[in-house]
Amino acid sequence: MTVLAVDDSSAENAFLADAQRYRRELLAHCYRMTGSLHDAEDLVQETYLRAWKAYRGFERKSSVRTWLYRIATNTCLTALEGRNRRPLPSGLGQPASDPLGELHERHEIAWLEPLPDEPRADPSDPSVIVESRESVRLAFIAALQHLPARQRAVLILREVLQWRAAEVAEAIGVSTAAVNSLLQRARAQLDEVSPARDDAALAPDTPQTTELLDRYISAFETYDIDRLVELFTADAVWEMPPFDGWYDGPADIVALSKFHCPAEGPGDMRFLRTMANGQPVAALYMRNPQTGVHEAFQLHVLDVRTTGISHVVAFMETALFERFGLPAHL
């Protein structure tokens, strides 16, 4: 049952029907706050339910969109109370792993999740501006997870949504001075966990990105893993939650792929292409030796830079394939 079916009140239902146009950007907002696609979907639904209940008291001192963001932010803050952050393996504070060592799964950790991209609408639509690629890139979302929830909210509202400090203060119930202090601390923390890079990130639809993705997929599908060395930057990182290790540099990434990949030769791996977090995704299907069918295996979210592929997060959660609209097998 959707929230539109909760009551037959025409005013509230008309409001919610109109407010649905903000659903995608609210989903991105809740995802930035939580690092979880699943949690974000639930929190957007809760946001609409709270808005429906409070609609008669809405005084229209702000736009409906701003009002919904305020509700969504406070819904997220409540939900995050007492919860641990959602990390990637490289954010656990442990050194890079031995690519020839044992792999350790950590299902007790709530890992960061990817966010599927959707086709963009009219570029003049504010939601397109709000959901800019940089504001949902995995590296940024992972860095946000290091911040306490209130700092996270302030930084997102101020620097992603471009709200004034007074608007943020009113939204989360603190003083303007407190907002400025929280923002300063959040920026300092982000600088520590996510230092600026010299090479710029490339959009997923540029010719250079397409060429690198073609070569990346070809190396795996032809089982010519050594070719991967040519594609990665010198400081490239590979990680694959729920395994808690991370791997540093092209040589270790290639060694890991050779030593631990269940493929045995050309044709064992096939890929479909999609996008997540404003980044290219190579969805890997591994051939089942018993049935010969290629089955969903990993979602590779690539960070492509002007100097090469700098980061791959290979998500092992095959349930994500359905969330991305991808088949379970080929």
* Predicted structure pTM score: 0.90
Domain assignment present for 40: yes
Domains held by the chain: number: 2
What distance in Å separates the CA atoms of residue 330 and residue 328, rounded to the nearest whole number? 7
Residue range(s) defining the domain that contains residue 13: 3-193
Across residues 280-295, what is the average pLDDT? 96
Per the model's pLDDT, the better-predicted residue between 36 and 134 turns out to be: 36
181 with 227, same domain: the answer is: no
Instruction: Give pairs for 193-198: CB < 8 Å, separation 24+.
Output: 193/91, 193/143, 193/146, 194/139, 194/140, 194/142, 194/143, 197/305, 197/310
Are residue 171 and residue 24 in the same domain, yes or no? Answer: yes
- Asked if 38 contacts 31 with a C-beta cutoff of 8 angstroms, the reply is no
Q: Residue 61 domain-assigned?
A: yes
Domain contains 200: no
**Average pLDDT for 45-73:** 85
Per-residue pLDDT at 5 exceeds 50:
no
pLDDT tens-digit map of 294-316: 999 999 999 999 999 999 999 99
Q: What is the percent of the chain where pLDDT is above 90?
A: 78
User: Are residues 48 and 181 located together in one domain of the fold?
Assistant: yes
End position of a domain, from candidates 147, 171, 193: 193
41 and 133 share one domain: yes
> Cβ distance 323 to 246 under 8 Å?
no
Residue closest to 285 by CA, chosen among 210, 217, 183: 217
Query: Mean pLDDT of all residues in the chain?
Result: 90
**Together in a domain, 213 and 286:** yes
Look at 157 and 199; give whichever has higher pLDDT: 157
Higher per-residue confidence, 218 vs 134: 218
Query: Residue 314's domain is classified under what CATH number?
Result: 3.10.450.50
Kindly indicate the confidence band of residue 2, based on its pLDDT and cuts at 50, 70 and 90.
very low
Is the residue at 328 inside a domain? Answer: no
Asked if 124 and 18 sit in the same domain, the reply is yes
Ranking 10-19, 131-140, 152-161, 217-226 by mean pLDDT, the lowest is 10-19
- Whether residues 185 and 221 fall in one domain: no
Same domain (yes/no): 189, 232? no
Q: Is the pLDDT of residue 317 over 80?
A: yes
Inside any domain, residue 330: no
Q: Are residues 73 and 18 in the same domain?
A: yes
Same domain, 188 and 215: no
Domain boundary among 148, 169, 193: 193
Angle between the N-to-C axes of helices 64-80 and 23-34, in degrees from 0 to 180, rounded to the nearest 10: 30
167 and 292 assigned to the same domain = no
pLDDT bucket at 125, cuts 50 / 70 / 90 = low
Mean pLDDT of 237-258: 96
In a domain, 283, yes or no: yes
What is residue 64's predicted lDDT score, i.e. its pLDDT?
Answer: 85
pLDDT average, residue stretch 23-27: 94
Task: Looking at the structure, tell me whether residues 274 and 148 fall in a common domain.
Answer: no
Kindly tell me if the per-residue pLDDT of 3 is higher than 80.
no
**Spatial separation of the C-alpha atoms in residues 143 and 123, rounded to whole Å:** 27
| Average pLDDT estimate for 209-232 | 96
Q: Which of 25-39, 56-70, 89-103 is least confident?
A: 56-70
- So what's the pLDDT on residue 6? 46
pLDDT at residue 107 is higher than 60: yes
pLDDT above 80 (res 10): no
What is the rounded CA–CA span in Å between residue 185 and residue 126?
28
> In this predicted structure, what is the pLDDT of residue 123?
47
Please give the average per-residue pLDDT across 261-288, as a whole number: 96
Over residues 37-61, the mean pLDDT reads: 86
Asked if residue 120 has pLDDT above 70, the reply is: no
Per-residue pLDDT tens over the stretch 129-168: 445 678 899 999 999 999 999 999 999 999 999 999 999 9
